[in-house]
Structure 1
């Protein structure tokens, strides 16, 4: 059995974390992290409200999950179009909705996990179909993101090998890296290396 990928988190939104399951998007070497039902169950177990989800619950849903991921990416990319009197963004969103809107809306309409109190007063989550229920949460988060003011804080990582999207919650809104621990440190080391190479000897 193939080990589950080390899924990335920390984008600031559930739907953006989900988009990250296609790593190195837009490069010559993209990496698919949701190739099958086992990987999808592992992702839902990490990011959903349950500690784990059996693979059987994800069987038959991996293609749907990848379709949703790409639809969300299409919508987010369109919603991030520069605002030029609103016309460029509106046109981009209209085009994106014609190809991706139905997928996102259909999955957003599915039942989501329901909070319940157990006999000890502890919180538990119920869903007849846990994987589609979490996909519905992702789709609803995407709808909320692309229609709200937070979309203007969604940036793309400046690392040309990454391209991950993230919500910039910093006060100045000038964050460049999806993570300082990965891409930020990589860029910092490259800068220091370049300075040491260019520094004259003597």
Structure 2
């Protein structure tokens, strides 16, 4: 069952890895791969890869029905729509009409349904299908874009980092995808600049 904790370990093309918390499961999903120049980061190669991603916390949607190739294609389409919408919102541009339509189409399907078991634990009521999980992710994106945190959707302040997140911190001062990655790089560059200009 889903908890409030979000975040995933991302890998770069040089073999490094770091933990990135986008602040919402739908935004974590948007960083599971991509198209064009971001295809090198793809993690969802097979339907089983999608099943594995969805089964991880916090969504913890363990499929009881095998994921199909069509569902994988729908997942990648939704992922791209979430990515496009998030970046448009971060830049305060109008959201792409196609992205909105894709998110709405995914959200129209039945979502995951919580169920209480006899031992008072929670789980997703079976059958658990990929379309249910995708609907849940799409609905979360709709809530995010239409809710009080919509203006907290931001792109990392680094010049060459496209990662996007929702800043849910109380002061609303988050600037970096991860402090140990882009935040520290910025600090090092600033330190070098100060040293080079100090007599």
| TM-score normalised according to structure 2 size | 0.75
Confirm or deny that 1:116 pairs with 2:125: no
Give the corresponding residue for 1:46.
56
Give the corresponding residue for 2:14.
none
Give the corresponding residue for 1:59.
68
Confirm or deny that 1:15 pairs with 2:34: no
Confirm or deny that 1:75 pairs with 2:81: no
Deviation at 1:136, TM superposition (A): 0.8
Q: Classify the secondary structure of the residue corresponding to 2:150.
A: helix
Give the corresponding residue for 1:102.
101
* Aligned CA distance change for structure 1 residues 28 and 138 (closer, same or farther; 3 Å): closer
Q: Classify the secondary structure of the residue corresponding to 1:133.
A: helix
CA RMSD for the aligned pairs? Answer: 3.0
* Aligned CA distance change for structure 1 residues 199 and 81 (closer, same or farther; 3 Å): closer
Q: What are the superposed Cα offsets for residues 55-83 of structure 1, whole Å, 9 maximum, x if unpaired? A: x722322211110011122223333443x
Q: Classify the secondary structure of the residue corresponding to 1:58.
A: coil
| Mean Cα deviation higher: 5-14 or 111-120 | 5-14
* 1:52-201 to 2 correspondences below 5 Å: 52-53=62-63, 57-60=66-69, 61-82=71-92, 89=93, 92-93=94-95, 96-97=96-97, 99-196=98-195
How far apart are the structure 2 equivalents of 1:69 and 1:28?
12
Deviation at 1:37, TM superposition (A): 1.8
8 Å CA contact retained: 1:57, 1:129: no
How far apart are the structure 1 equivalents of 2:160 and 2:55?
28
| Mean Cα deviation higher: 70-79 or 9-18 | 70-79
How far apart are the structure 2 equivalents of 1:26 and 1:64?
17
Deviation at 1:122, TM superposition (A): 1.9
How far apart are the structure 2 equivalents of 1:30 and 1:171?
35
* Aligned CA distance change for structure 1 residues 51 and 186 (closer, same or farther; 3 Å): farther
How far apart are the structure 2 equivalents of 1:135 and 1:195?
48
- Report which of the two structures shows the higher radius of gyration computed on alpha carbons: 1
In structure 1, runs of 5+ residues without a counterpart are 83-88
**Structure richer in helix, relative to its length:** 1
* Aligned CA distance change for structure 1 residues 28 and 78 (closer, same or farther; 3 Å): closer
Deviation at 1:16, TM superposition (A): 1.1
Q: What are the superposed Cα offsets for residues 99-131 of structure 1, whole Å, 9 maximum, x if unpaired? A: 222221121011222222222222221242432
* Aligned CA distance change for structure 1 residues 186 and 70 (closer, same or farther; 3 Å): same
